[in-house]
Each structure stands twice: as C-alpha cells, then as structure tokens.
Amino acid sequence: MSTLAAEVTAVARVIRSRRSVRHYRPDPVPAEVLRELTDLALEAPSSYNLQGRSIVTVTSERGLGALTEATGGQPHPQEAPVMLVFVAESGAWREDRADVWETARSRGAWSDAFATALPGDARAFHEDLAARGLAREYAVKDAMIAASFLMLAAEAAGLATSPMNGWDERLVKEAVGIGDRDDLHIALIMPLGYPAETRIHPGRRARSLTCFSETYGR
C-alpha cells in the first residue's frame, strides 16, 4: 500500500469509528494533548482567513457546573473532564486583523497585491452579510468547521467527543464570560474525555437517498 493510500485509509478509519459519547471517565486529558487538539481545530479554514472563531476550554468545577445548568442537567458536562465551547465571532471583520494579512504575506501564501486588497474585500463582503441579517450564520459556519476538525483529531487520539444540542445560549455565554457581547455567538459545545461507554454505529441512510448528481433529488 502506498503512503498516500495508507493515509487515506487512516483518515477513513477515524471518520467511520467516531461516535458521539454521552458518558466519560473522570481521567484528566493531558495538557499537551488538549493543546494539540485545539491547535488542530484552529487549522480549519475560515472565510477570508479572518479566523473569526475561538475555543474556550472549561475544566473548573465552577465552569462545568455552569455548563451543566446551561444544558439542563445533561450528563456530558457533569462527567467529562473538559468542555469545549466554540465561539463564533460575527464582528471579526471589524477588528484589526493585520496579523493575519502580514503572516500570510510573509509566508509567501499571498501576494502583496492580494494581501493589500483583502481587508477591503472582506469588509465589503461582511457588510453585505450584516445588511442581510446573515452575519451570525456565516460566523457559526466557520466555528462548526473547526469543531468538526477537533472531533476527528480527538478520535485519532483515543478520546471521545459529542457535538451537543439542547443548551441555553444565554447561559453558555454567561458561563464563559461573554454574556454582554452581542457580536459573539455560541456555535457548539462539546465534551472531551475518555469514554466510559462503547457506542455502536447506528447506521446511515442509503446513499441513493442522500447523495445526488447535478441536482437535488432522486
């Protein structure tokens, strides 16, 4: 098997073996592993490379308690040693992102002309989104891509996750100290830890029902 084929097989194994886990062992996640996983999540692409998404790591008893309340008492934040809160920053385009432009330019990833034009282009694009009421939606998309990267990286590291629904955004924002920020939104919250249960693959619908060519529908 070629190196490329082996790598593709490894990625396929991770994708197909990942399950959403509800129950976790109390064993702590090593700090270096947590750092690597969040670094990998932040490798995810984002609109105009603005990187308008952040991850808040919650491990304290107080923080986990607040997230337990925000999720209506679900078991994940009561058992997992780490909760990850993915924050979508719909106002990132208004902030100084000179570090983004300069890093890309210095690495040779962007030409001088492209890097110079991008701030204006990004502003025009996001002003249009804001005018159409789509700023939050686009920011959440970028944060969700990062969350997907982390779920796969965690699976490869022998850890479990679960993309959680059923939480009160106001309470989650208060738990991570952004209750007064209208430009910040909760895209997803996710437990991270070693699984205390084995989840069986529930199966997927037939490909003919969900994968189409050129136009939607069979």
In the chain, how many domains are there?
1
Residue-level pLDDT at 6: 81
Residues ≥6 apart with Cβ < 8 Å to 54: 86, 87, 89
Evaluate whether residue 188 is within a structural domain. yes
Quote the CA–CA distance of 173 and 137 in Å, as a whole number: 17
215 domain residue, yes or no: no
Torsion angles phi and psi, residue 3, rounded to 5: -60, -40
Spatial CA neighbour of 67 closest among 210, 191, 214, 195: 191
Q: Does 82 reside within a domain? A: yes
- At residue 31, the pLDDT reads 97
Residue 150 lies in a domain: yes
Per-residue model confidence (pLDDT) at position 7? 80
Residue 161 tokens read as 């996750």
Q: Is the dihedral of CA 20, 26, 27, 32 positive or negative?
A: positive
Domain membership flag for residue 176: yes
Give domain status of residue 11, yes or no: no
CATH number of 148's domain: 3.40.109.10
Q: What angle do CA 166, 193, 76 make, to 5 degrees?
A: 25
Domain holding 178, by residue range, is 19-201
Whole-angstrom distance between the N-terminal and C-terminal Cα of the chain?
A: 36
Residue-wise pLDDT for 22-71, tens only, equals 999 999 999 999 999 999 999 999 999 999 999 999 999 999 999 999 99
Residue 3, pLDDT score = 79
Express each pLDDT in 141-167 by its tens digit.
999 999 999 999 999 999 999 999 899
Q: Amino acid letter at 189?
A: I
Task: Report pLDDT for 1.
Answer: 61
In a domain, 87, yes or no: yes
| 212 pLDDT above the threshold of 90 | yes
Q: Is residue 7 part of a domain?
A: no
The region that residue 64 occupies, defined by phi over 0 for left and psi between -120 and 50 for alpha, beta otherwise, is alpha
Give me the mean pLDDT over the 101-116 stretch.
93
